[in-house]
Amino acid sequence: MKSPEVYKKLGIEPVINAQSWVTVLGGSLMKPEVLSAMNEASSVFVDMIKLNKSAGDFIAKICNAEKGLVTSGCAAAQVLMVAACMTGKDESKIDLLPSSSLVKNQVLLHSMQRNRYEKSFVMPGAKIVEYSSEEELNELISDKTACIAYVMAPWLSRGLGLLKTIKVAQKNNVPIILDAAAELPPRENLSKFIDMGVDLVAFSGGKGIQGPQSTGFLVGGKELVEAAFMNSLNLHSNLAAIGRPMKVSKENIIGLITALQLFIDEDESMEWGNWLDKSKKIKISLQDIQEIEVTIEDDKQIRQGPTVVIRFNENYKGPTLEKILFELENGTPNIFVSTQPNIKEISLVMVNLQDGEEIIVAERLKQILGNI
Ligand SMILES: *Cc1c(COP(=O)(O)O)cnc(C)c1O
Protein backbone atom coordinates (compact mmCIF):
# COMPACT_ATOMS: atom_id res chain seq x y z
CA MET A 1 0.00 0.00 0.00
CA LYS A 2 1.38 3.39 -1.00
CA SER A 3 2.01 5.78 1.85
CA PRO A 4 1.14 9.37 0.88
CA GLU A 5 4.03 11.77 1.43
CA VAL A 6 1.97 14.03 3.70
CA TYR A 7 1.59 11.19 6.18
CA LYS A 8 5.07 9.77 5.70
CA LYS A 9 6.52 13.11 6.81
CA LEU A 10 4.78 12.60 10.16
CA GLY A 11 5.74 8.94 10.43
CA ILE A 12 2.18 7.75 9.80
CA GLU A 13 1.46 4.67 7.70
CA PRO A 14 -1.92 3.93 6.08
CA VAL A 15 -3.95 1.07 7.57
CA ILE A 16 -6.57 -1.31 6.18
CA ASN A 17 -10.00 -0.57 7.59
CA ALA A 18 -12.20 -3.67 7.93
CA GLN A 19 -13.81 -2.12 11.00
CA SER A 20 -16.41 0.15 9.35
CA TRP A 21 -16.96 3.92 9.37
CA VAL A 22 -15.22 4.36 12.67
CA THR A 23 -13.90 7.71 13.78
CA VAL A 24 -10.60 6.30 15.07
CA LEU A 25 -9.57 5.14 11.59
CA GLY A 26 -10.69 8.27 9.76
CA GLY A 27 -14.40 7.67 9.07
CA SER A 28 -14.53 7.18 5.31
CA LEU A 29 -12.72 8.29 2.14
CA MET A 30 -13.94 11.28 0.15
CA LYS A 31 -14.43 10.85 -3.59
CA PRO A 32 -12.31 12.98 -5.97
CA GLU A 33 -15.40 15.02 -6.93
CA VAL A 34 -15.87 15.99 -3.28
CA LEU A 35 -12.26 17.07 -2.92
CA SER A 36 -12.38 19.14 -6.08
CA ALA A 37 -15.63 20.80 -4.97
CA MET A 38 -13.97 21.71 -1.67
CA ASN A 39 -10.98 23.05 -3.52
CA GLU A 40 -13.24 25.20 -5.66
CA ALA A 41 -15.16 26.40 -2.60
CA SER A 42 -11.92 27.54 -1.00
CA SER A 43 -11.11 30.11 -3.70
CA VAL A 44 -13.59 32.84 -2.69
CA PHE A 45 -15.28 34.44 0.32
CA VAL A 46 -19.01 33.99 0.80
CA ASP A 47 -21.74 35.11 3.19
CA MET A 48 -21.70 32.19 5.64
CA ILE A 49 -25.23 32.80 6.91
CA LYS A 50 -26.63 32.58 3.39
CA LEU A 51 -24.47 29.54 2.60
CA ASN A 52 -25.59 27.76 5.77
CA LYS A 53 -29.24 28.41 4.99
CA SER A 54 -29.04 27.34 1.35
CA ALA A 55 -27.11 24.20 2.23
CA GLY A 56 -29.71 23.42 4.90
CA ASP A 57 -32.53 23.84 2.37
CA PHE A 58 -30.72 21.57 -0.10
CA ILE A 59 -30.44 18.84 2.54
CA ALA A 60 -34.01 19.33 3.77
CA LYS A 61 -35.36 18.71 0.29
CA ILE A 62 -33.47 15.41 0.04
CA CYS A 63 -34.74 14.36 3.48
CA ASN A 64 -38.34 15.42 2.94
CA ALA A 65 -37.96 17.75 5.93
CA GLU A 66 -38.91 21.41 6.36
CA LYS A 67 -35.40 22.58 7.21
CA GLY A 68 -31.86 21.31 7.61
CA LEU A 69 -28.53 22.44 9.03
CA VAL A 70 -24.97 21.30 8.34
CA THR A 71 -23.06 20.64 11.55
CA SER A 72 -19.53 19.66 12.49
CA GLY A 73 -20.48 15.99 12.86
CA CYS A 74 -23.46 14.10 14.20
CA ALA A 75 -22.28 14.66 17.77
CA ALA A 76 -22.43 18.43 17.25
CA ALA A 77 -25.90 18.01 15.74
CA GLN A 78 -26.92 16.23 18.96
CA VAL A 79 -25.75 19.20 21.05
CA LEU A 80 -27.67 21.62 18.83
CA MET A 81 -30.83 19.49 18.78
CA VAL A 82 -31.03 19.46 22.56
CA ALA A 83 -30.15 23.16 22.72
CA ALA A 84 -32.96 23.90 20.25
CA CYS A 85 -35.44 21.90 22.33
CA MET A 86 -34.35 23.77 25.47
CA THR A 87 -34.42 27.32 24.10
CA GLY A 88 -36.68 27.40 21.07
CA LYS A 89 -35.98 30.72 19.30
CA ASP A 90 -35.90 32.72 22.53
CA GLU A 91 -32.70 34.78 22.35
CA SER A 92 -32.41 35.29 26.09
CA LYS A 93 -32.44 31.53 26.60
CA ILE A 94 -29.97 30.92 23.77
CA ASP A 95 -27.65 33.48 25.35
CA LEU A 96 -27.81 31.63 28.66
CA LEU A 97 -26.61 28.21 27.49
CA PRO A 98 -24.89 26.16 28.78
CA SER A 99 -27.21 26.22 31.72
CA SER A 100 -29.30 23.85 33.77
CA SER A 101 -31.46 26.71 35.04
CA LEU A 102 -33.87 26.73 32.10
CA VAL A 103 -37.19 25.07 32.92
CA LYS A 104 -36.86 22.60 30.07
CA ASN A 105 -33.64 20.90 31.05
CA GLN A 106 -34.36 17.17 30.89
CA VAL A 107 -33.57 14.75 28.08
CA LEU A 108 -35.43 11.47 28.48
CA LEU A 109 -33.45 8.42 27.36
CA HIS A 110 -34.20 4.70 27.69
CA SER A 111 -31.95 3.02 30.27
CA MET A 112 -30.82 0.46 27.67
CA GLN A 113 -29.92 3.25 25.25
CA ARG A 114 -27.28 4.89 27.42
CA ASN A 115 -24.19 5.15 25.21
CA ARG A 116 -20.83 6.77 24.72
CA TYR A 117 -22.18 9.63 22.59
CA GLU A 118 -24.72 10.88 25.13
CA LYS A 119 -22.36 13.55 26.51
CA SER A 120 -23.50 15.61 23.53
CA PHE A 121 -27.03 15.65 24.95
CA VAL A 122 -25.90 17.17 28.23
CA MET A 123 -23.47 19.74 26.86
CA PRO A 124 -26.10 22.51 26.64
CA GLY A 125 -26.73 22.00 30.36
CA ALA A 126 -29.50 19.41 30.18
CA LYS A 127 -29.70 16.32 32.36
CA ILE A 128 -30.37 12.81 31.11
CA VAL A 129 -33.32 11.24 32.88
CA GLU A 130 -33.60 7.50 32.39
CA TYR A 131 -36.78 5.51 31.81
CA SER A 132 -37.17 1.81 31.28
CA SER A 133 -40.80 1.29 30.29
CA GLU A 134 -43.54 3.06 28.36
CA GLU A 135 -45.40 3.69 31.61
CA GLU A 136 -42.38 5.26 33.23
CA LEU A 137 -41.77 7.45 30.19
CA ASN A 138 -45.35 8.71 30.28
CA GLU A 139 -45.00 9.50 33.97
CA LEU A 140 -41.70 11.32 33.57
CA ILE A 141 -42.87 13.72 30.87
CA SER A 142 -43.47 17.16 32.39
CA ASP A 143 -42.82 20.87 31.87
CA LYS A 144 -39.16 20.07 32.42
CA THR A 145 -38.93 17.80 29.39
CA ALA A 146 -36.80 19.35 26.67
CA CYS A 147 -37.12 16.26 24.50
CA ILE A 148 -37.11 12.49 24.30
CA ALA A 149 -33.87 11.24 22.74
CA TYR A 150 -33.61 8.06 20.73
CA VAL A 151 -30.36 6.52 19.50
CA MET A 152 -29.96 4.10 16.61
CA ALA A 153 -26.82 2.05 16.27
CA PRO A 154 -26.22 -1.57 15.27
CA TRP A 155 -24.67 -2.31 18.67
CA LEU A 156 -27.34 -0.67 20.79
CA SER A 157 -30.64 -1.85 22.30
CA ARG A 158 -33.75 -0.50 20.57
CA GLY A 159 -35.34 0.56 23.87
CA LEU A 160 -39.11 0.80 23.38
CA GLY A 161 -38.60 0.80 19.62
CA LEU A 162 -38.61 3.98 17.56
CA LEU A 163 -42.26 3.86 16.52
CA LYS A 164 -43.57 3.39 20.04
CA THR A 165 -41.29 6.13 21.36
CA ILE A 166 -42.54 8.52 18.66
CA LYS A 167 -46.13 7.72 19.63
CA VAL A 168 -45.49 8.57 23.29
CA ALA A 169 -43.75 11.82 22.28
CA GLN A 170 -46.63 12.84 20.03
CA LYS A 171 -49.32 11.93 22.54
CA ASN A 172 -47.60 14.12 25.14
CA ASN A 173 -46.68 16.86 22.71
CA VAL A 174 -42.93 16.81 23.41
CA PRO A 175 -40.25 16.70 20.71
CA ILE A 176 -38.40 13.50 19.89
CA ILE A 177 -34.84 13.75 18.59
CA LEU A 178 -32.88 10.95 16.92
CA ASP A 179 -29.18 10.15 16.70
CA ALA A 180 -29.00 8.17 13.45
CA ALA A 181 -25.28 8.84 12.87
CA ALA A 182 -24.37 5.69 10.99
CA GLU A 183 -27.79 4.66 9.64
CA LEU A 184 -26.90 5.57 6.03
CA PRO A 185 -27.07 3.54 3.86
CA PRO A 186 -29.84 2.51 3.40
CA ARG A 187 -30.60 5.77 1.59
CA GLU A 188 -34.29 5.43 2.42
CA ASN A 189 -33.38 6.42 5.99
CA LEU A 190 -32.65 9.98 4.80
CA SER A 191 -36.40 10.63 4.88
CA LYS A 192 -37.79 7.57 6.70
CA PHE A 193 -37.44 8.85 10.27
CA ILE A 194 -38.82 12.29 9.40
CA ASP A 195 -41.77 10.61 7.67
CA MET A 196 -42.30 8.49 10.78
CA GLY A 197 -42.70 11.67 12.83
CA VAL A 198 -39.31 12.31 14.44
CA ASP A 199 -38.91 16.06 15.11
CA LEU A 200 -35.15 16.31 14.60
CA VAL A 201 -32.84 13.69 13.07
CA ALA A 202 -29.03 13.82 13.06
CA PHE A 203 -26.68 11.99 10.69
CA SER A 204 -22.91 11.85 10.27
CA GLY A 205 -21.52 13.27 7.03
CA GLY A 206 -18.23 11.42 7.25
CA LYS A 207 -19.51 7.86 7.51
CA GLY A 208 -21.67 6.20 4.80
CA ILE A 209 -22.12 9.49 2.92
CA GLN A 210 -18.34 9.84 2.50
CA GLY A 211 -18.28 13.57 3.09
CA PRO A 212 -15.67 15.40 5.19
CA GLN A 213 -15.13 13.46 8.43
CA SER A 214 -15.89 16.47 10.58
CA THR A 215 -19.33 17.11 9.11
CA GLY A 216 -22.86 15.96 9.82
CA PHE A 217 -26.30 17.45 9.61
CA LEU A 218 -29.65 17.69 11.29
CA VAL A 219 -33.08 17.92 9.66
CA GLY A 220 -36.55 18.48 10.99
CA GLY A 221 -39.36 20.96 11.50
CA LYS A 222 -38.87 24.65 10.70
CA GLU A 223 -39.05 26.09 14.21
CA LEU A 224 -36.68 23.60 15.82
CA VAL A 225 -34.11 23.71 13.01
CA GLU A 226 -34.15 27.51 13.09
CA ALA A 227 -33.62 27.32 16.84
CA ALA A 228 -30.70 24.92 16.26
CA PHE A 229 -29.26 27.35 13.73
CA MET A 230 -29.50 30.24 16.20
CA ASN A 231 -27.69 28.10 18.76
CA SER A 232 -25.02 27.16 16.22
CA LEU A 233 -23.25 30.40 15.43
CA ASN A 234 -22.76 33.72 17.09
CA LEU A 235 -23.42 35.46 13.82
CA HIS A 236 -26.84 36.51 15.08
CA SER A 237 -26.79 40.02 16.56
CA ASN A 238 -24.93 39.85 19.84
CA LEU A 239 -25.92 36.34 20.74
CA ALA A 240 -23.21 34.22 22.31
CA ALA A 241 -24.13 30.79 20.99
CA ILE A 242 -23.14 27.45 22.48
CA GLY A 243 -22.39 26.10 19.00
CA ARG A 244 -19.49 28.46 18.34
CA PRO A 245 -16.78 25.81 18.94
CA MET A 246 -18.56 23.55 16.41
CA LYS A 247 -18.37 25.78 13.34
CA VAL A 248 -18.34 24.31 9.85
CA SER A 249 -16.11 25.80 7.16
CA LYS A 250 -17.38 26.76 3.72
CA GLU A 251 -15.20 24.00 2.25
CA ASN A 252 -16.77 21.42 4.55
CA ILE A 253 -20.31 22.59 3.80
CA ILE A 254 -19.67 22.29 0.05
CA GLY A 255 -17.89 18.96 0.58
CA LEU A 256 -20.85 17.53 2.45
CA ILE A 257 -23.40 18.79 -0.07
CA THR A 258 -21.39 17.32 -2.94
CA ALA A 259 -20.92 13.99 -1.16
CA LEU A 260 -24.62 13.82 -0.33
CA GLN A 261 -25.58 14.38 -3.96
CA LEU A 262 -23.18 11.62 -5.09
CA PHE A 263 -24.51 9.38 -2.32
CA ILE A 264 -28.14 9.65 -3.43
CA ASP A 265 -27.17 9.24 -7.09
CA GLU A 266 -25.33 5.99 -6.41
CA ASP A 267 -26.99 2.63 -7.08
CA GLU A 268 -27.43 1.03 -3.68
CA SER A 269 -27.80 -2.52 -4.99
CA MET A 270 -24.52 -2.23 -6.92
CA GLU A 271 -22.78 -0.87 -3.87
CA TRP A 272 -24.21 -3.77 -1.84
CA GLY A 273 -23.16 -6.24 -4.56
CA ASN A 274 -19.59 -4.96 -4.47
CA TRP A 275 -19.44 -5.47 -0.69
CA LEU A 276 -20.96 -8.95 -1.08
CA ASP A 277 -18.37 -9.94 -3.71
CA LYS A 278 -15.56 -8.93 -1.40
CA SER A 279 -17.15 -10.93 1.46
CA LYS A 280 -17.42 -14.01 -0.72
CA LYS A 281 -13.77 -13.81 -1.74
CA ILE A 282 -12.71 -13.74 1.90
CA LYS A 283 -15.06 -16.57 2.87
CA ILE A 284 -13.79 -18.83 0.09
CA SER A 285 -10.24 -18.03 0.97
CA LEU A 286 -10.73 -19.10 4.59
CA GLN A 287 -12.78 -22.25 3.93
CA ASP A 288 -9.98 -24.76 4.56
CA ILE A 289 -9.07 -23.50 8.00
CA GLN A 290 -10.05 -26.01 10.67
CA GLU A 291 -12.36 -25.36 13.63
CA ILE A 292 -13.63 -21.98 12.59
CA GLU A 293 -17.02 -21.05 11.19
CA VAL A 294 -17.04 -18.37 8.49
CA THR A 295 -20.38 -16.83 7.51
CA ILE A 296 -21.52 -13.80 5.56
CA GLU A 297 -24.14 -11.82 7.46
CA ASP A 298 -26.11 -9.01 5.90
CA ASP A 299 -29.12 -8.36 8.11
CA LYS A 300 -29.61 -4.63 7.51
CA GLN A 301 -30.83 -4.10 11.07
CA ILE A 302 -27.57 -5.14 12.68
CA ARG A 303 -24.89 -5.14 9.98
CA GLN A 304 -23.33 -2.24 8.11
CA GLY A 305 -23.35 -4.00 4.76
CA PRO A 306 -22.35 -7.61 4.10
CA THR A 307 -19.95 -8.66 6.83
CA VAL A 308 -17.73 -11.74 7.15
CA VAL A 309 -18.11 -13.17 10.64
CA ILE A 310 -15.53 -15.63 11.99
CA ARG A 311 -16.55 -17.78 14.97
CA PHE A 312 -14.43 -20.36 16.76
CA ASN A 313 -15.56 -23.95 17.36
CA GLU A 314 -15.32 -25.50 20.82
CA ASN A 315 -12.28 -27.57 19.89
CA TYR A 316 -10.50 -24.67 18.20
CA LYS A 317 -6.89 -24.70 19.33
CA GLY A 318 -5.35 -21.88 17.33
CA PRO A 319 -4.16 -18.47 18.51
CA THR A 320 -6.43 -16.62 20.96
CA LEU A 321 -8.66 -13.81 19.75
CA GLU A 322 -6.36 -11.30 21.47
CA LYS A 323 -3.34 -12.76 19.70
CA ILE A 324 -5.11 -12.68 16.31
CA LEU A 325 -6.06 -9.04 16.78
CA PHE A 326 -2.52 -8.19 17.87
CA GLU A 327 -1.05 -9.84 14.78
CA LEU A 328 -3.52 -8.09 12.46
CA GLU A 329 -3.06 -4.67 14.01
CA ASN A 330 0.72 -4.87 14.15
CA GLY A 331 1.56 -6.49 10.81
CA THR A 332 2.36 -4.62 7.60
CA PRO A 333 0.05 -2.98 6.78
CA ASN A 334 -1.89 -2.74 10.05
CA ILE A 335 -5.35 -4.30 9.62
CA PHE A 336 -8.26 -3.29 11.84
CA VAL A 337 -11.34 -5.51 12.20
CA SER A 338 -14.48 -5.23 14.26
CA THR A 339 -15.01 -7.04 17.58
CA GLN A 340 -17.44 -6.64 20.43
CA PRO A 341 -16.68 -6.91 24.12
CA ASN A 342 -17.28 -10.38 25.55
CA ILE A 343 -18.16 -11.92 22.20
CA LYS A 344 -15.60 -14.33 20.77
CA GLU A 345 -15.93 -13.50 17.11
CA ILE A 346 -14.31 -11.34 14.47
CA SER A 347 -16.35 -9.24 12.04
CA LEU A 348 -14.81 -8.06 8.80
CA VAL A 349 -16.83 -5.07 7.62
CA MET A 350 -16.57 -4.45 3.87
CA VAL A 351 -17.81 -0.85 3.58
CA ASN A 352 -14.40 0.76 3.83
CA LEU A 353 -12.29 -1.96 2.19
CA GLN A 354 -10.70 -0.59 -0.97
CA ASP A 355 -10.64 -2.84 -4.06
CA GLY A 356 -8.05 -5.58 -3.60
CA GLU A 357 -7.70 -5.12 0.15
CA GLU A 358 -10.04 -8.07 0.73
CA ILE A 359 -7.27 -10.30 -0.67
CA ILE A 360 -4.67 -8.84 1.71
CA VAL A 361 -7.01 -9.32 4.69
CA ALA A 362 -7.82 -12.92 3.70
CA GLU A 363 -4.16 -13.82 3.15
CA ARG A 364 -3.09 -12.37 6.47
CA LEU A 365 -5.88 -14.19 8.31
CA LYS A 366 -4.88 -17.43 6.63
CA GLN A 367 -1.31 -16.94 7.80
CA ILE A 368 -2.36 -16.23 11.37
CA LEU A 369 -5.18 -18.78 11.67
CA GLY A 370 -3.67 -21.46 9.49
CA ASN A 371 -0.75 -21.57 11.85
CA ILE A 372 -2.42 -24.18 14.04
C1 LIG B 1 -20.42 8.05 14.92
C2 LIG B 1 -21.54 8.23 15.85
C3 LIG B 1 -21.77 9.48 16.46
C4 LIG B 1 -20.85 10.66 16.24
O5 LIG B 1 -20.91 11.12 14.92
P6 LIG B 1 -19.83 12.15 14.38
O7 LIG B 1 -20.32 12.47 13.01
O8 LIG B 1 -18.51 11.42 14.37
O9 LIG B 1 -19.82 13.32 15.27
C10 LIG B 1 -22.87 9.61 17.28
N11 LIG B 1 -23.70 8.57 17.52
C12 LIG B 1 -23.51 7.35 16.97
C13 LIG B 1 -24.48 6.24 17.27
C14 LIG B 1 -22.41 7.13 16.12
O15 LIG B 1 -22.22 5.93 15.56
Q: What residue's CA is closest to ligand 1, atom 5?
A: 74
- Please give the pLDDT value at position 236: 58
Three-state DSSP class for residue 42: coil
Atom of ligand 1 nearest to the CA of 153: 13
Domain that holds residue 310: 5-26+267-369
- Asked whether residue 260 falls in the same domain as residue 355, the answer is no
326 shares its domain with 194: no
pTM over 0.85? The answer is yes
Per-residue confidence (pLDDT) for residue 341, from 0 to 100: 84
**How close is the Cα of 77 to the center of ligand 1, in Å?**
10
| Residues 250, 273 within the same domain | no
64 Cβ partners below 8 Å, 6+ apart? 190, 191, 194, 195
Same structural domain, 155 and 249: yes
**CATH number of the domain enclosing 303:** 3.90.1150.180
Residue 344 neighbours by CB distance under 10 Å: 12
- Tell whether ligand 1 has an atom less than 6 A from the beta carbon of residue 75: yes
Summary mean pLDDT of the chain = 96
pLDDT higher than 60, residue 372:
no
pLDDT band per the 50, 70, 90 thresholds, residue 240: confident
What share of residues in the chain are helix, strand, coil (percent, to 5)? 40, 15, 40
Is residue 21 located within the same domain as residue 43?
no
Which residue, 239, 265, 291, sits at the end of a domain?
Answer: 265
The CATH number for 225's domain is 3.40.640.10
Distance 312 CA to ligand 1 centre (A): 31
Q: Locate the ligand 1 atom nearest the alpha carbon of residue 204 and give its number.
A: 7
Distance from the alpha carbon of residue 191 to the mean position of ligand 1, in angstroms: 18
C-alpha 284 – ligand 1 centre gap (Å): 33
Counting the structural domains of the chain, the total is 2
Nearest atom (ligand 1) to Cα of 214: 7
User: Do both 179 and 57 map to the same domain?
Assistant: yes
d(CA 84, CA 171): 20
Q: What is the pLDDT of residues 331-356, one digit of tens each?
A: 999 999 999 888 899 999 999 999 99
Compute the distance from residue 367 Cα to the ligand 1 centre, in Å. Answer: 34
Any atom of ligand 1 within 6 Å of the Cβ of 79: no
C-alpha to C-alpha distance for 184 and 48, rounded to whole angstroms: 27
User: Could you tell me the pLDDT band of residue 249, with boundaries at 50, 70 and 90?
Assistant: very high
- pLDDT tens for 87-115 read 999 999 999 999 999 999 999 999 999 99
